[in-house]
Chain A
Amino acid sequence: MAGDTTASLGGSQVALVTGGYDHTIKLWQAHSGVCLRTMQHPDSQVNSLEISPTSMVAAAGFQHIRLYDLSSANPDPVTTFEDISKNVSRVGFQKNGTWMYTGGEDCTARIWDPRAAPRTRCQKIFQVQAPVNAVMLHPDQSQIMVGDQSGIIHIWDLKTDQNEQLIPEAEASIQDIAIDPAGKMMAAVNNKGNCYVWSLSGQPPHPVPKKHITAHSKYALRCKFSPDSTMLVTTSGDCSAKIWRTSDWALLRELRRDTQRWVWDAAFTLDSRFLFTGSSDSYARLWNIERGTLEREYCGHQKAITALAFKDQPV
């Protein structure tokens, strides 16, 4: 079916993938709203999704990370990363896809080398005291921000293995960390709905507190900068996603829908004009940021969508 659809609806495809509690990962044709393919993610929910530069999608789940090939019709993963004792909460790729980084409930952040042995393994582990909720690679590719449930942000220098700690708010779990593509700003959200912003400068980059926003009344789940660094989106358990202007930290848009429930994940398009969100009501949505209108709804999951990834380039 995937082949037919691609042919009939024409053109090169951008990739929107969603995953969640129904143990499936769906690949969507973003402009038409049609589900092109469903991949199986047995035994676990999907905690996080990320598309690699080589068009592989990584799904972080319970005790493993699975890599699926988006360019083939294979519904099964091509690679699995195993031997992790607990949930993997976040996954990301190095710029060229040479290595993958993850953070998990086993209180570690790890660097994985997808290449098989016996080559030199680019492998690293960073142990913290609390379950890791967020990992974010600095665009300079040499530092990883690790946010844990005790509320600490560890700045892990990959070259030296040294680390620095930030505690924006006591007794609040860090839920997500974002760094803008220019590497000038860092944002973190916590389970109280607060958002903290730092400016990053120097070599190696050093964070300087810049702004505190009471972004949501409840649990914040995700934060992300737009590709042009002019906006920051925060998603929350208050059933909304909010877009903040980075120039003056004013609220630009509140994306809300009556039926929408917890908003777990979000992704911008390359031109920063549209935003995808994934919600517990099992719908993914595409919003026009400028107009604040809902452009598309992606319907197909049986349960909550907890992760999504979008690549605005042909796959």
Chain B
Amino acid sequence: MATYDNKIWLLKNIRDAFIATDDTGLCEIVMAGEDFSKIFQIKGLEEKKRIKEARALQPGTSKIREGGDSCEDFEREIITQFEPYPDIDESEDEDPLGSSYVRYEEFGGYRQRSNTSQWLDKKEQALKKAAKIKVIKWEDSSPLSKEQCMELFPTVEVKPPEKQKSLLAQQLENCPDLPHRQYLEYGKFDGTAQLGLQTKCFKIFMTMLSEKHQNYPLVVCVIASAKIKDLIGFTCYKYSIEHPEISLGSVHEYGLCIAEDDGEVDWAFPCLDANEPCSKFGFTCLGLIELKNKKSFNSPPIPMPDDGHVFHLFPKMTDSGQSHNNPSRHNTGGSQTSEAVISALRAVNEEKKSSEDANLEKIQCHIMATEAPQYKSYKVQLLRKVRTNTSVQLGISLDRIEIEPLVTHKHVFWSNSRSKYFLHSIESVAWCQILETRGYRTTFRIVYSPSQKNNSALDKNASEHAGYSHLHTTYKYHDFESDHETAKEIVEKVNTILDLLNSSCRREYKISKEKKSQTRRSFHTKHLS
């Protein structure tokens, strides 16, 4: 049996024996690979030759040279590391290999059992089960005699029942507000002992608990039609029953992610859609995770134009960039936006909706990076030096940043004259940062270069500034105000895009900024010394 430890022997055996015993498909891997037994044999021969030559050169081993006949015998005695099995060729037809076909099966080979044997097994189990059940059949026996009846059915004196205490009432009084109470409604998704209903079993790792509580997965069985959110609820229900000392949060605070057998959650995938039935998913190992900062992550969906056109996201050659100052532009043109675009938008929104539950910090960054180039608009306050702040819609996409005043129709006249529509090509945007946080508001700044417009084919305003030279770059900025979360998201989004493009404008701005700080530093050091 020692030969089973021999990898090369095994590989060889698989090669030789695959047809007879293997239906696992493993032999194909071995067959497709190189024939190691041959390679090793060749290597072994080479090694032997080398050793022989080396020994021949050694002065002390004169015996060999003397007895030329014993040379071949001696060769056999040299055993190299490539010798898998002494005399592998000779032994091929002998017993150890020959009988191994049989042994192979009983030892490691696992052949799929036939339907008949499985059916027989089931039958046997049913019989065993039935054997344990006592069956009492109704027999039409001769009626009992009057004496027997008198004896068997005596009249019992009816005593008025005493007042009894209820054990349940006592238990209800003593019953604390058990943690599982909030999940009780999920009890109906229990799939154990269901008859005639499809069920599904999952191994669930409670990844949000401390490490000592997540060594073992919780095995839950639910009916197949249960949705993922029901599965989450049922998991909480089962866990809180088994571990009443651990308090879990609301069902909405958790999500289910795909996990490995060992409980390692695969963070590359978002949580399973809470509204999908669990029968849809083939995974059996899942990790229950906590959804953090749900609020901050709830990004509004991409605005869907009701009348079928999408404003600057998909500009058409004919009307792109026209009438920037015209607040009514939403209603002009754009009717040709294809269904495909709208359906694409819808798909994006759908995706967003479904990933709403997957609000994890870990995947947040990932999503931020992939979503950053997508167009998104925010409602923020544009800060002005002279006039009052105006609320604007700040739209950010991969190629532009637009600031559109939000006006109610009442004040169209005023706002037309007062607030302006800005459109900056992303090439002209140099910097974006948070300035300060005060109370519940955060101000942030977007720095742009008004002269950096010659590259921008999108911006029609460019013409008036076309003459400016790069050397005289001046920077202007817009300051905005919004709540923390929005400000944070905008700054992150803009910076992700800027980093992605790394435009010349941004590079120049960075350089000039560095220079400035250097001069400031040198100024400081001068003064200090």
Contacts and interface: CB of A to CB of B under 8 A. Distances in A.
B188 A141 contact: no
B168 A274 contact: yes
B231 to A, nearest CB: 16
A80 B133 CA distance: 7
A299 B161 contact: no
Contacts, number: 180
B193 A39 contact: yes
Interface string A172-215: 00000000011100000000000000000001100000000000
Interface in A64-89: 75-84
A110 B157 CA distance: 23
B138 A121 contact: no
B154 interface: yes
Interface of A, secondary structure class, is loop
B153 interface: yes
B160 interface: yes
Contacts of A247: none
Interface stretch (B68-76, B105-113, B175-183): B175-183
Given A14-B168, A302-B194, A80 B149 contact: no
B185 A299 contact: yes
B407 interface: no
A38 B192 contact: yes
A82 B167 contact: no
Interface string A149-169: 000000000111100000000
A4 B218 CA distance: 14
Interface string B220-247: 0001000000000000000001111000
A34 B244 CA distance: 12
A228 B161 contact: yes
In the complex, which range does the number of interface residues on chain B fall in? Answer: 35 or more
B54 interface: no
Interface string B168-205: 11011001001011001111101011111100000000
A24 B163 CA distance: 34
A117 to B, nearest CB: 8
B193 A271 contact: no
Contacts of B194: 22, 24, 38, 302
A226 to B, nearest CB: 10
Nearest to B165: A271
B387 interface: no
A45 B373 CA distance: 59
A123 B242 CA distance: 46
A133 to B, nearest CB: 20
A79 B178 contact: no
A79 B135 contact: yes
Contact of A78 (B133, B137, B244): B133
B144 A312 contact: no
A295 B164 contact: no
B164 A31 contact: no
B133 A271 contact: no
Contacts of B411: none
Nearest to A41: B195
Interface in A219-267: 227-229
B58 interface: no
Given A8-B244, A34-B180, A42-B195, 10 more contacts: A8-B242, A8-B243, A12-B167, A33-B184, A34-B241, A81-B136, A141-B153, A204-B155, A282-B188, A302-B194
Interface of B: 129, 132-139, 141, 143-144, 146, 148-150, 152-158, 160-161, 163-169, 171-172, 175, 178, 180-181, 184-188, 190, 192-197, 223, 241-244
9 contacts: A9-B178, A32-B175, A99-B152, A123-B139, A123-B141, A123-B144, A297-B185, A302-B194, A312-B166
8 shortest interchain CB distances as A-B pairs: A38-B193, A31-B171, A271-B166, A158-B153, A183-B158, A83-B138, A269-B166, A300-B187
